[in-house]
Structure 1
Amino acid sequence: MNNSIPSNLISLLCFFFLSIGLQGQEPFQVKGLCIAAPQPQSLDGFIDFAKNELAPNGINTLVLRIDYRYEYESRPELIGENPLRKEQVKKLVNACREVGIEIIPQVNLLGHQSWHSKASKLLEVYPEFDETPNIKLPEKYEWPNDDGLYCKSYCPLHPEVHEVVFDLVDEIVAVFEAKTFHAGMDEVFYLAHEDCPRCRGLDPARLFADEVRKIRDHLAETDTRLWIWGDRLIDGAETGIGMWEASMNNTARAIDMIPKDVVITDWHYERADPTPAYFATKGFDVIACPWRLPKVASDQVQMIADLKANSTKKMADRFLGVMHTYWSSAEQFMKAYKDPSHKLNERGHSPVLTFRAMTSAIKERENVNTQ
């Protein structure tokens, strides 16, 4: 009697169990968009956009850049121009929740406390927090410049800075009913600066790591998870990536000093650099982030899918997905998105077409996994 299983049945069983595995696996847990919070007068239009465009295209995560554009009750002196009100935020949160979109609010901490020639509200109101008080913002900004000025930082060792910024964090997390908070922390060029009487001569990696840990520990008190950008944790010289998408100011060693439950949003805009694998091997959950080149977005989607497919389960679970980043207003994004004549510019750039490329590539990968 032949007890062997027919080869065609083996093939069917293999296909069946493979299909179960693929269907049970969520290749892109995070399908995100990072964008500035809408202006109050555009809120209804943005809600319609989220319901009719973002959610149907698979977006389930919205990182909203808030900073000082909210009517803070805890720190009214830090309210910026044209802020959102509490009832408007609640309306947005509820509308996004209805269509399966989680909102993650962002307030830039540590770095990005100025923009070229204008200080942020924090340094405008509390100039004593400035890491580089002797470097003045120019009337006309140019890069490169003798001061190495791109944007200012607050001093992480100032004894009063966290009392102020954590008031903002707590209020924003509460009003957005958020379980995740994005602290920014990218492009921190001023740290351990010779101008600062507290930070001068200290280890930039340790300063950066201590600030990440301080923010993380504060958020943990309300069971809120921290996300940050990943550039300061990559060695710009060793990788050849350079000073923008990686660090050339000795912060990269901080990667071995920060808690592993911090999520890294790993932005690369010229290529799909394989740094998500680096972060995952270090124990971090990671999200790949494109901006303005459609091919980079498609390549990043493919890269995350390939990394998940060719990793142990422990590693694969750390590749959370992809998130498009947009650095102008929400209103500009919606206008370009709805413009049928919109196309790549002369340099081959279009954040909107990059977003479309990302969502299309995700759908293609997900369709493959369910066939």
Structure 2
Amino acid sequence: MHRAYQLFVVLVALLFAAVSSALAADDDTGSSVYRPPARIWHFVLRGVTPDRARWMVDLARSAGFEAVQVSITDGVKLDRAPWQARDDAWSKPDFFAWVTYAQENGMEVIPELELLTHQEKFFQGNFPELMFNRVTYDPRNEETYRRVLALLEELIDALHPRAIHIGHDEVAGYNVNSLKRWLGPGENMLPAELFVQDVRRIYSYLKERGIMTWMWGDMLIAPEEFPEMLDKHLHGSVPGYGKALRDKLPRDIVICDWHYFDDQAEFPSLAVMQQEGFRVIGSSWKREKTMRNFSRYAAGQGALGMMATTWFHVQRREWAVVERIIRTSGESFRRDFPD
């Protein structure tokens, strides 16, 4: 009896070890263990030459960055893209060669598509029948997803990314200025339930393929919830957005919480989303005080990392500004999120 009991204990221990090993081999995306990069830089691939883009890779590598999030719009010619490519757009071979260059220099490449919102950059008015309003596509139309998922499939087959950023920032109509700028007579802001529907549809598609979903977080937070923060980038005040929207999203989505001009030392939106179970990356821009404070705070809260954005400075060829952003951000991020 004693020997049988010992055998039972050994078998239970072996079973427990096997289960623990299996769980450790999978993360929430269903793929092998994946540690998202902690130091990311971001640029919009539009109106920039491959040589200059390689220069940015070299600069970012020297500044300690681990990954690049590249916003893909009409600056790249892709077979299934719904946009009209610019005259100076990169060919597919140009793009894939740059991706290879970045990877060979230690950079994970995270593609970003402007999905749902900012359709002046994605569908570009080419498919009015797919639009909820002029700059937001309609999640109720299945043809929308035939085109969106086809492009995602093309990128996945070519790049095999571990993560894809799906945009979803600045829903047209989130405040009076946005309403006046983007919505015409008779047009309405997208209801929050359709925002959730779209996120879940794309998230499910990516998760089935072992790919992590990243998205911007401005529509998930509101000034009413975070009065101590600069309200300029808290866009979730419309009913159904803000916390109500967060409550309906899968917790294994990575939220990129962007704040560009705040003066305060604390960024509680990041802490709250972390506490709710989301994984969060702080995102800064060119204001040095903000990037340093945000990076320090994010590290203290156990965030995944920080992202340095360069936005229109690349298209304006303001290379001194781009270099300053990358070098200064890299210094802060490497200090707060060391290897």
The interval holding the TM-score normalised by the smaller chain is 0.7 to 0.9
Contact 2:39 2:334 in 1 (8 A): no
Aligned position for 1:323: 307
**CA RMSD across the alignment:** 2.8
**Residue 214 of structure 1, CA deviation:** 0.5
Match of 1:90 among 86, 96, 108: 96
CA deviations 1:270-299 (Å, max 9, x no partner) are 225221111111111100111121000000
Contact 1:173 1:179 in 2 (8 A): no
- Aligned amino acid, residue 32 of structure 1: I
Cα 1:246/1:352, change in 2 over 3 Å: farther
Aligned position for 2:198: 211
TM-score (norm 2): 0.76
Please list every run of 5 or more consecutive structure 2 residues that lacks an aligned counterpart in the other structure: 1-34, 175-182
Q: Does 1:281 align with 2:286?
A: no
Match of 1:231 among 218, 224, 238: 218
**Residue 209 of structure 1, CA deviation:** 1.5
Match of 2:248 among 257, 274, 281: 257
Match of 1:299 among 293, 304, 307: 293
CA deviations 1:314-357 (Å, max 9, x no partner) are xxxxx1110011211536466225xxxxxxxxxxxxx6534433
Aligned position for 1:36: 44
- Aligned amino acid, residue 62 of structure 1: V
Measured in 2, the distance between the counterparts of 1:167 and 1:247 equals 30
Measured in 2, the distance between the counterparts of 1:205 and 1:33 equals 30
CA deviations 1:70-112 (Å, max 9, x no partner) are 222235x533213222211221111111111011111101111
Measured in 2, the distance between the counterparts of 1:112 and 1:185 equals 8
Cα 1:228/1:121, change in 2 over 3 Å: closer
Aligned position for 2:29: none
Contact 1:333 1:352 in 2 (8 A): no
Q: Does 1:47 align with 2:31?
A: no
Aligned position for 2:169: 186
SS for the counterpart of 2:237 is: coil
Cα 1:335/1:266, change in 2 over 3 Å: same
Cα 1:216/1:365, change in 2 over 3 Å: closer
Contact 1:290 1:354 in 2 (8 A): no
- Equivalent pairs counted in the alignment come to 288
- Aligned amino acid, residue 179 of structure 1: R
Contact 1:265 1:289 in 2 (8 A): yes
Cα 1:243/1:303, change in 2 over 3 Å: closer
Contact 1:62 1:103 in 2 (8 A): yes
Measured in 2, the distance between the counterparts of 1:83 and 1:176 equals 19
Please list every run of 5 or more consecutive structure 1 residues that lacks an aligned counterpart in the other structure: 1-26, 115-119, 134-151, 309-318, 338-350
Match of 1:158 among 121, 131, 141: 141
TM-score (norm 1): 0.70
Aligned position for 1:312: none
**Residue 231 of structure 1, CA deviation:** 0.7
Contact 1:79 1:121 in 2 (8 A): no
CA deviations 1:237-261 (Å, max 9, x no partner) are 2323536433122212111111111
**Residue 195 of structure 1, CA deviation:** 4.8
Contact 1:291 1:324 in 2 (8 A): yes
- Aligned amino acid, residue 329 of structure 2: M
